[in-house]
Chain A
Amino acid sequence: MGKQIVIQPVSRIEGHARVTIQLDDNGNVADSRVNVVELRGFEKFCIGRPVEEIPRIVTSICGVCPWSHHLASAKANDAVFGVQPPPAGKKLRDLCNSIAYTEEHILHFFFLSGPDFVMGPDADYSVRNVIGIAQANPEIGKKVVRNRHLGAEMLEIISGKSIHPVTAVPGGFSKPLTPKERDKLLPMAEEVLEFAKFSMAFAKENIFPKYLDTVKTLGVINTGFMGTVTDDGTFNVYDGKLRLMKPDGAYVDFTYDKYTDFIGERIENWSYLKFPYAKAWGEGFSMDHINPKGIYRTNSLARINVADKIATPLAQKEFEEFRSKFGRPAQLTLLYHWARLIELLYNAEHAVELLHDPEILSRETRIPVTPRAARGVGCVEAPRGTLIHDYETDDKGLVTNMNLIVGTTHNNAPINMSVNQTAKLLIKDGKYDQGILNRVEMAIRAYDPCLSCATHDLNGRLAVRIDILDSLGHLINSFKN
């Protein structure tokens, strides 16, 4: 066997990972696998807790998307208690979700992935970061920092706590929005909307045209997709049904509680992190990046692919342009970034729209609930993919069983496949440099993986083990961090 290349840690992602690439005697990539070797245990230590406390515990699965876990948990609680929140309660949750999306998409596009495009994939590591962007373009840097933070400030006004929130409760929202608070929020939400428009225009002018060749080649795989849509097929990130689409565009829709009929999780003896796959397709599971089986993806590109339309005007316009350019389903992995900017626009528009809705000021935000023995499944679209929270309780309302599938876990197999594709594409005859290795990381960053989320099972730190296989799939070597 030839030389082995280690990238550690994978940086500018949420959580920890390592990539090891094994070269053959000619200096070409033999093969690689990314293995996750740690876990956390929320599904165990939430058992025995009062179910209404869970929305305040599972937030700590992820400090980047705590609202997603908070809301999925509150929705699972609604189902357990058998209630639907009053309209204002639902709208306040929806509002917080959209504001959180703007904050997180700005974070990912500009702080985490942006440096690859703005400073360039080959730039020195000391400047290939958000501080580098801020120093090279102080005006943009200031705008980016301010607009991400506006999201956090808005969430504090609405709910008191932007990270690890507490206000989504079984049956609704713990406090109404006052007219005074609304008046404070509106100009902030409008400023973020302006920034969302700027981001899309900026990327379409300065980034996407420049990197078209990279988009067409880096991380490219062909898979199915899953995301949330409303009853009439409209894009939605807070509520709806799940839509699972095959690579050829055919799809089925199903309600949250039926997820176990469509998705299975595989255990591989070389990874703690499980591998969800579309068991309903009946074709089994294979991560061969040229001939995958049972593989679907989640997150921005998936949501844009499964939706028939978007309900806000500016995002709808971008959606139409995107679809006419790239088809349905669009497969190119770096298009995740483009799809993310369409979502930034939708959520910014949706937040302004909700703040103009008089019903959101209603005093009726919550209905009281009574403990009972039941099962409840709650889903939301986390920025990184579909979040499934499935709880069972006893007659005192204490948790007796819990099952979670989170956004990044759905993308476990696809991330492996894109890394493998990229390494094979770029590393030839033993030649590589930090710019090429950074491109391998760019294939990972496109998925905006949240490895804290993915490792909720036992341990927040993601570590990986890479197995090197020969062309017949036999284990030749393996590496771990």
Chain B
Amino acid sequence: MATVAEEWLNICGGCEVAILDLGEKLLDVLPSLQFVHMPVLMDHKYFGQTGEKSELEIPKADVGMISGGIRNEKEKHVAEEMRKQCGVLIALGSCACFGGIPALANMYELQELYDKVYRGSKSTESGNTPTIEIPPLTDRVYALDEVVKVDLYIPGCPMNPAIILEALTALLSGKPFSLPERSVCDDCPTKREEKSSFNLKRPLQDAEFTPGEYNTLRCFNEQGMICLGPVTKSGCGKPLNGGENIPRCIKGFMPCRGCFGPIRNDANPMVDMMSALSAIGLDAKLVEDRRATFNRYIGGQKRLRPLPTAGRRE
């Protein structure tokens, strides 16, 4: 029996739902886990059950799990407390691993966000930014490992339940866990000819395919529609209950946008994607909104920063 504490920081809740998406397999795992803290499902409180204590308390746990990146001092404090109290700390999902979609905000200064919300909204009676007793936000969105040491990473937006199960099983039996350094393309069933005879185009019309048959679909990049498969870690399509391993956006006949993050920690997906496109004869410089597209889920760890206002598109 392992004790588990779970926290969510700068989140959407999708990773918690992904845990529930273990379905009936969750009921098989539950007997070996004892949850001691998990705000989404249970009522353990920070300051005692009737708020009688003055210090934030998270119980000791063998395993700590945190979803979400960090955006304010309070979240930082909770992350540090979790690190102190938990034996192994797992970063759940791409927000915790790389900053996730919310880290697109790292392209702007904080003040610009306030200006938009309070003085640039058509349904709002404009006013000053609220200032009374507001906890300080961090200057940008941080990935979890920029703030505390992380032992294990489970990327994805959201995570794949099959991989959560694999990681938990490994952990409970004391075995190491990591995802292989493979790309989404390694699992992709689409047809490839290693060259493109098309021009770059935006996905404003259907790709050509026979419904239900993925191998009738031509590689999106070769069709001229940007797909981040070449620079994205594989694993999203891993089935929980048998069946084919097909990247999940491809299953929807849509191109990958990189939600599993870089194939290697030290990779630079922006540069790698440009060379992947050049290799099949496309002009990567013509990709619309290149910076935000190639870094969509990975804007933490300083991959996205504000540009000087002059050179910025608005």
A44-B105, A128-B42 known; 12 new pairs, CB 8 Å cut-off, are A41-B117, A44-B113, A45-B107, A50-B289, A128-B43, A131-B41, A134-B27, A167-B252, A167-B254, A269-B127, A403-B122, A458-B105
Residues of chain A touching chain B, judged by Cβ–Cβ distance below 8 Å, are: 5-9, 11-12, 14-16, 37-41, 43-45, 47-50, 52-53, 56-57, 60-64, 66, 107, 111-112, 125-126, 128-131, 134, 141-142, 145-146, 148-149, 152-153, 156, 159-167, 169-171, 174-176, 178, 180-181, 259-260, 263-272, 274, 276, 363, 366, 368-371, 390, 396-398, 400-401, 403, 405, 432-434, 437-438, 441, 450, 452, 457-461, 463, 465, 478, 480-481
Q: How far is the CB of B188 from chain A (nearest CB, A)?
A: 13
Q: Say yes or no for B177: interface residue by CB 8 A criterion.
A: no
Cross-chain contact A432 with B133 (CB below 8 angstroms): no
Cross-chain contact B125 with A370 (CB below 8 angstroms): no
9 tightest A-B CB contacts, nearest first = A63-B14, A160-B251, A149-B23, A160-B252, A368-B205, A6-B51, A60-B101, A63-B12, A125-B43
Cross-chain contact B248 with A7 (CB below 8 angstroms): no
Cross-chain contact B251 with A161 (CB below 8 angstroms): yes
Cross-chain contact A461 with B71 (CB below 8 angstroms): yes
Measured in the bound complex, the distance between the Cα atoms of B120 and A390 in whole Å is 13
With A48-B292, A160-B252, A174-B253 given, is the CB distance from A452 to B134 under 8 Å?
no
Measured in the bound complex, the distance between the Cα atoms of B44 and A433 in whole Å is 15
Measured in the bound complex, the distance between the Cα atoms of B205 and A167 in whole Å is 12
Cross-chain contact A459 with B137 (CB below 8 angstroms): yes
A459: chain B residues at CB < 8 Å are 10, 71-72, 102, 137
Cross-chain contact B123 with A41 (CB below 8 angstroms): no
List CB contacts (< 8 Å) of B248-280 with chain A: 248-254, 257, 259
Measured in the bound complex, the distance between the Cα atoms of B17 and A14 in whole Å is 10
Cross-chain contact B135 with A161 (CB below 8 angstroms): no
Q: How far is the CB of B252 from chain A (nearest CB, A)?
A: 4
Complex: chain B residue closest to A167, CB-CB: B252
Measured in the bound complex, the distance between the Cα atoms of B48 and A434 in whole Å is 10
Complex: chain A residue closest to B124, CB-CB: A265
A41: chain B residues at CB < 8 Å are 102, 105, 108, 113, 116-117
Cross-chain contact B204 with A267 (CB below 8 angstroms): no
Q: Say yes or no for B293: interface residue by CB 8 A criterion.
A: yes
With A9-B46, A48-B292 given, is the CB distance from A478 to B133 under 8 Å?
yes
Q: How far is the CB of B253 from chain A (nearest CB, A)?
A: 4
Measured in the bound complex, the distance between the Cα atoms of B47 and A16 in whole Å is 15
Cross-chain contact A163 with B42 (CB below 8 angstroms): no
Measured in the bound complex, the distance between the Cα atoms of B236 and A163 in whole Å is 12
Measured in the bound complex, the distance between the Cα atoms of B101 and A366 in whole Å is 27
Q: How far is the CB of A434 from chain B (nearest CB, A)?
A: 5
Cross-chain contact A461 with B14 (CB below 8 angstroms): no
The contact of A461 among B10, B105, B116, by CB within 8 Å, is B10
Q: How far is the CB of A149 from chain B (nearest CB, A)?
A: 3
The contact of A131 among B35, B49, B292, by CB within 8 Å, is B35
Instruction: Find the residue from A8, A164, A269, A390 having the highest chain B CB count within 10 A.
Output: A164
Cross-chain contact A142 with B24 (CB below 8 angstroms): yes
Q: How far is the CB of A256 from chain B (nearest CB, A)?
A: 13
Complex: chain A residue closest to B237, CB-CB: A160
The contact of B131 among A50, A266, A269, by CB within 8 Å, is A269
Cross-chain contact B206 with A366 (CB below 8 angstroms): yes
The contact of A163 among B17, B127, B252, by CB within 8 Å, is B17
Question: Can you list 19 A-B pairs, Cβ within 8 angstroms, ordered by A?
Answer: A9-B39, A11-B41, A12-B42, A41-B113, A45-B113, A48-B289, A66-B12, A156-B251, A174-B206, A259-B123, A265-B121, A269-B127, A269-B130, A274-B124, A390-B122, A437-B51, A441-B43, A457-B117, A461-B72
Q: How far is the CB of A49 from chain B (nearest CB, A)?
A: 6
B20: chain A residues at CB < 8 Å are 107, 111, 145, 148-149
Q: How far is the CB of B149 from chain A (nearest CB, A)?
A: 21
Of the four ranges (under 10, 10 to 19, 20 to 34, 35 or more), the interface on chain B belongs to: 35 or more
List CB contacts (< 8 Å) of B18-71 with chain A: 18, 20-21, 23-24, 26-27, 30, 35, 39-47, 49-51, 68, 71
Complex: chain B residue closest to A48, CB-CB: B313
Cross-chain contact A8 with B45 (CB below 8 angstroms): yes
Residues of chain B touching chain A, judged by Cβ–Cβ distance below 8 Å, are: 8-18, 20-21, 23-24, 26-27, 30, 35, 39-47, 49-51, 68, 71-72, 74-75, 100-102, 104-105, 107-108, 112-114, 116-118, 121-128, 130-135, 137, 157-158, 202-206, 209, 211-212, 246, 248-254, 257, 259, 288-289, 292-293, 296, 313-314
The contact of A371 among B8, B128, B204, by CB within 8 Å, is B204
The contact of B49 among A45, A166, A274, A434, by CB within 8 Å, is A434
Cross-chain contact B105 with A40 (CB below 8 angstroms): yes
Measured in the bound complex, the distance between the Cα atoms of B105 and A59 in whole Å is 15
Measured in the bound complex, the distance between the Cα atoms of B39 and A371 in whole Å is 44
Measured in the bound complex, the distance between the Cα atoms of B12 and A66 in whole Å is 9
Cross-chain contact B252 with A12 (CB below 8 angstroms): no
Q: How far is the CB of B61 from chain A (nearest CB, A)?
A: 15
Measured in the bound complex, the distance between the Cα atoms of B16 and A112 in whole Å is 13
B132: chain A residues at CB < 8 Å are 269-270, 465, 478
Q: How far is the CB of A458 from chain B (nearest CB, A)?
A: 5
A403: chain B residues at CB < 8 Å are 121-123
Measured in the bound complex, the distance between the Cα atoms of B289 and A397 in whole Å is 12
Cross-chain contact A16 with B204 (CB below 8 angstroms): no
B49: chain A residues at CB < 8 Å are 125, 434, 437
Measured in the bound complex, the distance between the Cα atoms of B205 and A119 in whole Å is 52
A171: chain B residues at CB < 8 Å are 204
Measured in the bound complex, the distance between the Cα atoms of B17 and A272 in whole Å is 27
Cross-chain contact A452 with B212 (CB below 8 angstroms): no
The contact of B13 among A15, A149, A156, A434, by CB within 8 Å, is A15
Cross-chain contact B250 with A163 (CB below 8 angstroms): no
B75: chain A residues at CB < 8 Å are 461
Cross-chain contact B40 with A12 (CB below 8 angstroms): yes
Q: How far is the CB of A263 from chain B (nearest CB, A)?
A: 6
A481: chain B residues at CB < 8 Å are 74, 135
With A363-B211, A368-B204 given, is the CB distance from A265 to B23 under 8 Å?
no
Measured in the bound complex, the distance between the Cα atoms of B295 and A343 in whole Å is 39
Cross-chain contact A14 with B40 (CB below 8 angstroms): yes
Cross-chain contact B21 with A6 (CB below 8 angstroms): no
Complex: chain B residue closest to A436, CB-CB: B50
A169: chain B residues at CB < 8 Å are 203, 254
Complex: chain A residue closest to B113, CB-CB: A41
Cross-chain contact A272 with B134 (CB below 8 angstroms): yes
Cross-chain contact B212 with A178 (CB below 8 angstroms): yes
Cross-chain contact A50 with B288 (CB below 8 angstroms): yes
Cross-chain contact B11 with A461 (CB below 8 angstroms): yes
